[in-house]
Amino acid sequence: MKDRKCLIDFPTPSDLVETKPSKPNPNPPSNSIKETIIPTTNIPLKTLENIESTTNNNKNALLTHQKQTKSFAQAVSNLCDIPSSQLPQPVLKGDNFSISIPEEEYLVGLETCKYNLHARIIWPKGSSPLTVQALRSKLSVLWKDLSLWGVSSLGKSFFEFTFTRLEDVKRVRSVSSWNLNPGIMKLFAWTRDFNPNLQNSTFAQVWVRIHGLPQEYWRPRILFAIASSVGTPICTDAASAKPMIECTFG
């Protein structure tokens, strides 16, 4: 809302006005124009600040009152500008309703999802799932060079990501899984009519035991390279993470 100014009749402080009586002219000229001298009034700056502060307080109080007195009909009056006469009428077929949707609108909806991806996060046992805000904060550090993107929760640890560029989609999909610490996020292609309740779990966290591996191969990158042949490596156990000098030999 733009600021509005109001002209007021402000009383002149008596201690700031200096009035000098004028001497009458003994020989006033004929047909002369009368001069009216209006003394200049200086209003203290502090007084003006008080007036402005009072005006702002009154404005805020008025806005608060308007927000409180807004009815429900006024709050939702501008949410939809589609006349109800243009909406399709549902048809009862058996025990279900059949509704025809505008095909052109559906095609537009598919076009807006062309840079979308679906994702699922596998949470470790005992960990608390992240909220959408916490997930976005973690990914903002990993995806700080990307353009605009968004994320929304679909339920059951499934999420939908929206990107604005194809290059960003290729970049995030180039990584097989993203370590969220805790949790591992796997991205997959967006599909129409996606329903999280119909998805089956195809991933599980398991330990891989490697037998007969010589000591010189006990390096994190080497262990991850071997384990990647059967899945996505997450971490190593305490014994594999220790250097050789800390190991106990019998």
- In tens, the pLDDT along 124-143 reads 877 888 899 999 999 999 99
Q: Quote the CA–CA distance of 66 and 145 in Å, as a whole number.
A: 43
Q: Which helix (H) or strand (E) holds 240?
A: helix 238-241
Does 158 score more than 70 pLDDT?
yes
Mean pLDDT over all residues of the chain? 75
Mean pLDDT of 206-227: 85
User: Which candidate, 194, 227, 229, places its Cα nearest to that of 209?
Assistant: 227
Q: What is the pLDDT of residue 206?
A: 79
Task: Give every CB contact of residue 26 below 8 A, 6+ residues apart in sequence.
Answer: none
Does 61 score more than 80 pLDDT?
no
Q: What is the pLDDT of residue 59?
A: 61
> pLDDT per residue over 89-119, tens digit each?
888 888 888 888 888 989 999 999 999 999 9
Task: List the domain boundaries for the chain.
Answer: 115-198, 215-246
Q: What is the pLDDT of residue 56?
A: 64
pTM score, two decimals?
0.52
Which CATH homologous superfamily contains domain 115-198?
RRM (RNA recognition motif) domain (3.30.70.330)
Q: Quote the CA–CA distance of 81 and 184 in Å, as a whole number.
A: 43
Does 2 score more than 60 pLDDT?
no
Task: Give every CB contact of residue 190 below 8 A, 6+ residues apart in sequence.
Answer: 113, 116, 117, 118, 160
User: Which candidate, 19, 6, 13, places its Cα nearest to that of 42?
Assistant: 13
